[in-house]
Amino acid sequence: MLYFLHNFETYFGPFRLFEYVTFRSGGAFVTAFLIVLFGVPPLLPFFQKYCVQKSARTDDAKDKPRIPLMGGVVIVGAIVMSVLLWGIITERILAVFLLATLALTGLGMTDDIIKTRYLRSERDGVKERTKLIVQAIVAFAAIYALYKTHGTVTMKIFFPFAKQPFQFLPGAENIAVWLPFMKSPLLFLPLGFMPLCLVVMLGFNYGVFAGTSNGVNLTDGKDGLAAGCLIFSSLGFAMISYLYGHRIFADYLNIPYIPNAGEVGIFACAIAGACVGFLWHNCEPASIIMGDTGSLALGGALAMIAIMLGQQLLMPIIGFVFFAETLSVWLQRKSYRWRHGKRIFLMTPIHHHFEKLGVPNHKLTVRFWIVAGLAVMLALLTLKLR
């Protein structure tokens, strides 16, 4: 809403600052930070009374004080308020992001509420299959809405360090299948294959969406771990969104120019600011954790940014910690099934493996933050080295 103040710059010159996306991104960061920083303490007694999980997830959790869940309610609330305040509220992209984030917040809140009402032996949150189905519905709706938004590159997949994307390019008579590193199409398909091509792209994008959302959820197992890594990833996507939305930088870096992509950068900065404020209360020893309410929503939000920019394959780099956590769980399950009960890691997700090796919690968390920061730097380098 504050964006429209730039129309009154003739009356007060500094109002022109509200036209610049960089200024509004900083405002969204600070606003979300302050809302979470000062919003959690008054709500903490309520969370401690009604939002404590009745089951333990780790072997030694019984010896620790029970930490309330659902801190994600404050995080998402701060993000929504900051975006509505500093973003262009008439922008369709922002509406899609906010609605999808709120839908995933509802799914995560349902999961957390079940955990606070039942023992693990009875109900341990929303069933995995149900969770994936709901995520699929939200993902397909959001991806289709972004696909129908002018200027987005939802149906392209850019490879790191490569100039050309993978895409199905429909023509007058056929569909050209383009691959990176090739000067001519790999093959041509009849136009009747277009629905199948759309299904393939939607399925791939859903995999990125569900994998990132659940990856952040898996990372939220140590004090400050998920929040700290989210700060780096969201700031990285804020920078990339700004570059995509700046015609000169987009042309220089040979990336698609997406009008108003900078508004998504405001959304990403709001995520970063909210996570910084939440880290104040979530660092060891944590007084509250975000739970599925926050982790599912924030992971899905990061994935939507990657999908909108056609940078789905950059997600494992810019969100390397989340990718590693998910991969460790998948490898552990496959090893247990195919190797007759043998495990690769002492415990998954992988941060529990290092915990079992005796790495102190504060060292473990900070080292994961360092890895997350280096991964974001590498992701930004891929835009230049194309």
pLDDT tier at 61, thresholds 50, 70, 90 = very low
pLDDT digits (tens, 9 = 90+) for 104-147: 999 999 998 888 887 665 567 788 888 889 999 999 999 888 88
Neighbours of 294 (CB within 10 A): 34
Place of tokens 């309410």: 293
Model pTM score: 0.91
299, pLDDT greater than 50: yes
Predicted confidence at residue 342, as pLDDT, reads: 87
- Average pLDDT score over residue span 256-266: 88
Cα of 361 vs its chain's centroid, Å: 24
Q: Structure tokens of 266?
A: 């405001």
- Average pLDDT score over residue span 154-169: 81
d(CA 216, CA 366) in angstroms, rounded, equals 17
Predicted confidence at residue 217, as pLDDT, reads: 92
d(CA 124, CA 137) in angstroms, rounded, equals 22
72 and 292 Cβ atoms separated by less than 8 Å: yes
d(CA 297, CA 80) in angstroms, rounded, equals 12
Our separate counts of H helices and E strands in the chain read 13, 4
265, pLDDT greater than 80: yes
Place of tokens 């839908």: 103
Give the chain's radius of gyration (CA, Å): 21
Predicted confidence at residue 59, as pLDDT, reads: 46
Phi, psi of 25 (to 5 degrees): -65, -45
269 and 31 Cβ atoms separated by less than 8 Å: no
Q: Per residue, what are the HEC states of 55-116?
A: CCCCCCHHHCCCCECCCHHHHHHHHHHHHHHHCCCCCHHHHHHHHHHHHHHHHHHHHHHHHH
Phi, psi of 188 (to 5 degrees): -120, 140
pLDDT tier at 261, thresholds 50, 70, 90 = confident
Neighbours of 327 (CB within 10 A): 16
Q: Which DSSP helix (H) or strand (E) runs through 176? A: strand 174-178
Whether cis (ω within 30° of 0) applies to the bond prior to 259 is no
Cα–Cα nearest to 216, from 303, 124, 334, 139: 303
Which residue type occupies 248? Answer: I
Of 75-84, 182-191, 303-312, where does mean pLDDT reach its minimum? 182-191
**CA count, 13 A, side-chain hemisphere, 56:** 9
Angle value at C-alpha 234, between 232 and 236, nearest 5 degrees: 70
Q: Structure tokens of 204?
A: 């791939």
66 and 310 Cβ atoms separated by less than 8 Å: no
Cα–Cα nearest to 71, from 230, 211, 302, 212: 230
- Average pLDDT score over residue span 253-274: 91
Cα–Cα nearest to 380, from 283, 208, 235, 219: 235
10 Å CB burial of residue 83 (0-12, 13-18, 19+) is: buried
User: 306 to each of 114, 212, 238, 253, how far by Cα in Å?
Assistant: 31, 10, 11, 17
